[in-house]
Amino acid sequence: MAEASRIFYGMLIPRFSQTLHQLPQTGLPLSLPQTAHSHGRSVCCSISTSGEPRVAATESIPWGCDVDSLENAESLQKWLSESGLPPQKMAIERVNVGERGLVALKNIRKGEKLLFVPPSLVIMADSEWSCPEAGEVLKRNSVPDWPLLAVYLLSEASLLRSSKWSNYISALPRQPYSLLYWTRSELDRYLEASQIRERAIERSDDVIGTYNDLKLRIFSKHPDLFPEEVFNMETFRWSFGILFSRLVRLPSMDGKVALVPWADMLNHSSEVETYLDYDKSSKGVVFTTDRVYQPREQVFISYGKKSNGELLLSYGFVPKEGTNPFDSVELSMSLQKSDKCYKEKLASLRKHGLSGSQCFPVQITGWPMELMAYAYLVVSPPSMEQQFEEMAAAASNKTTAKKDIRYQDLEEQALQFILDSCESSISKYTKFLQASGSMDLDVTSPKQLNRRLFLKQLAVDLCTTERRILYRTQYILRRRLRDMRSGELRALRILDGLKNLFK
Ligand SMILES: C[S@@+](CC[C@H](N)C(=O)[O-])C[C@H]1O[C@@H](n2cnc3c(N)ncnc32)[C@H](O)[C@@H]1O
């Protein structure tokens, strides 16, 4: 089974229109999308299906349920069994990790295939629309898979029980946990020290840009098919929140993305290495266990080799400190504006798709060669201009470039530069963590207080784990520099001794 069946950030939202993505950031909602439901309004979504009478959905759209609701999960389970899901060795239950999850009903062996969700119960870009006209319009406009699925989910949700997926949609969380639901001021306040803040802002801008683009090009031209009560920024954020936290890439189906009801009740553990995929022999979505499970034990899969920041970004949780072997922190490094060769260095970096300020992932086990190459470039003197190009290429993510470059004469300076960047980052984390104890949460209601306390705890957990990696990096760098300098000192002493001898 291919690794990382979950999708990595960066490949997520296709950019339709660059200019739309440059629109100013609008405020994110404080909590839930302001849905028709939360206003107690009824949506009349009158949609004609080919040859059938128009379906008038006059009830409120529920947009999922409370994240720990078992009632809706039970209806989902029942509907899935009636619709062709084979009997399972697991059931949806309330769990300690992830609120709801799948729990073993019987002994499960290591290496056993589980689930077998048939394609008819999987949502993909080519799934049939309950409102075929809406689907056709999107396809005619070549809307890519991610936004297409986001609109599909909204369209099906708006049709309530007339949609085949109504039991599935009702069991989805009304507020998916992901950074998409943090307001800009919450991101600024709680994640100031972490680079994940930038990625959350970028992602949110992408979602806003994609929505604005669809609205301009499609929704506004077909208001009968895409009424604003249903297809608006808030519902779009919900839909994207669901995709970010539940969509899987199925390697055996040419990497197609899919929502897989039932399978998407599995929570993540960094200690397992099993991923969802389509199994051609059984013709269903499965995963193969890599350990045994006793009855009543929660069963896990892996959402991919993701850092704690990436897990918070898409799924809204942070694993316990020290439990994620794939954890990393983005270390930011910049060219110095005072550098005599600033322009030349920047030109070399740009040529290789990099900029004057760049982030590199640092793990507890070390840092990538690209980071070292970038540091060489930053500290190199004008006399090394001929090598700028080679350094920039090695710092880029081009796999064809030679990565393991080494400049002995620059080594100490480069390591010192990385240490300085690392220490400046540590001090930001420390500032936040020290202030977090007495931070004014600026709330006006108990509900807001709970939310802010929850977000703050997530931020504290993330910052603690990220700072821990930086502390380790700082320790290694200091030791290396000390060894290097004491070695140099010894060499200098020997040289002095020799000089005295000759005198
Ligand atoms: C694919 S869904 C899994 C099912 C989900 N628990 C539910 O009840 O709908 C992903 C969501 O589950 C939760 N989750 C998954 N793994 C988790 C973990 N290890 N710790 C905490 N929450 C987890 C997060 O809220 C995440 O956004």
Residue 315 marked ligand-binding: yes
Residue 205 CA to ligand 1 center (angstroms) comes to 24
Statement: 18-315 belongs to CATH 3.10.310.10: no
Tokens of 323: 């439990």
Closest residue by CA, ligand 1 atom 9: 265
At a CB cut-off of 8 Å and minimum separation 6, what does 456 contact?
190, 436, 439, 441
pLDDT digits (tens, 9 = 90+) for 327-336: 999 999 999 9
CB 344 within 8 A of CB 388: yes
Q: What's residue 38's pLDDT?
A: 33
Tokens of 486: 């004491």
Q: How far is 35 from 236, CA to CA, in rounded Å?
A: 11
Q: Is 316 in the pocket of ligand 1 (CB under 6 A)?
A: yes
Q: Is 317 in the pocket of ligand 1 (CB under 6 A)?
A: yes
Q: What is the ipTM of this complex?
A: 1.00
Residue 374 marked ligand-binding: no
Q: Is 300 in the pocket of ligand 1 (CB under 6 A)?
A: no
Length of the chain equals: 503
Residue with token string 């269903």: 284
Residue 152 CA to ligand 1 center (angstroms) comes to 22
Q: What are phi and psi for residue 328, nearest 5 degrees?
A: -155, 165
* pLDDT range class, residue 20, cuts 50, 70, 90: very low
Tokens of 440: 């004014």
Q: How many CB atoms lie within 10 A of CB 416?
A: 17
Secondary structure of residue 155 in the 3-state scheme: helix
Q: How far is 253 from 441, CA to CA, in rounded Å?
A: 47
Q: Does 56 have pLDDT greater than 50? A: no
At a CB cut-off of 8 Å and minimum separation 6, what does 137 contact?
218, 222, 225
Q: What's the burial of 167, exposed, middle or buried (CB within 10 Å: 0-12/13-18/19+)?
A: buried
Q: Is 328 in the pocket of ligand 1 (CB under 6 A)?
A: no
Q: Does 444 have pLDDT greater than 50? A: yes
Q: Is 241 in the pocket of ligand 1 (CB under 6 A)?
A: no
The best mutation among 315, 323, 461 to test binding of ligand 1, ranked by most ligand atoms within 8 Å of the C-beta, falls on 315
Q: Is 262 in the pocket of ligand 1 (CB under 6 A)?
A: no
Q: Is 245 in the pocket of ligand 1 (CB under 6 A)?
A: yes
Average pLDDT over residues 444-464: 92
Residue 422 CA to ligand 1 center (angstroms) comes to 32
Residue 140 CA to ligand 1 center (angstroms) comes to 35
Q: What's residue 380's pLDDT?
A: 97
Residue 336 CA to ligand 1 center (angstroms) comes to 42
The CATH code of the domain at 328-491 is 3.90.1420.10
Residue with token string 């030791």: 479
What is the DSSP track for 164-184?
A: TTHHHHHTSBSS--SGGGS-H
Q: Is 173 in the pocket of ligand 1 (CB under 6 A)?
A: yes
Q: What's residue 447's pLDDT?
A: 82
Residue 246 CA to ligand 1 center (angstroms) comes to 9
Residue-averaged pLDDT of the chain: 88
Q: What's residue 15's pLDDT?
A: 36
Q: What's residue 48's pLDDT?
A: 37
CB 95 within 8 A of CB 101: yes
pLDDT digits (tens, 9 = 90+) for 94-106: 999 999 999 999 9
Residue 98 CA to ligand 1 center (angstroms) comes to 4
CB 367 within 8 A of CB 360: yes
pLDDT digits (tens, 9 = 90+) for 266-321: 999 999 999 999 999 999 999 999 999 999 999 999 999 999 999 999 999 999 99
CA angle 318–12–332, rounded 5-degree value: 60
Q: Is 206 in the pocket of ligand 1 (CB under 6 A)?
A: no
Residue 278 marked ligand-binding: yes
Secondary structure of residue 361 in the 3-state scheme: strand
Q: Is 93 in the pocket of ligand 1 (CB under 6 A)?
A: no
Q: How many CB atoms lie within 10 A of CB 97?
A: 13
Q: How far is 257 from 243, CA to CA, in rounded Å?
A: 10
Q: Does 36 have pLDDT greater than 60? A: no
* pLDDT range class, residue 59, cuts 50, 70, 90: low
What is the distance of C-alpha 141 from the center of its chain?
Answer: 27
- Domain map (residue ranges) of the chain: 18-315, 328-491
Q: How far is 455 from 47, CA to CA, in rounded Å?
A: 39
Q: What's residue 457's pLDDT?
A: 95
Q: What's residue 55's pLDDT?
A: 40
Identical topology for domains 18-315 and 328-491: no
pLDDT: which is higher, 399 or 28: 399
Tokens of 243: 């995709």
Q: Does 40 have pLDDT greater than 50? A: no
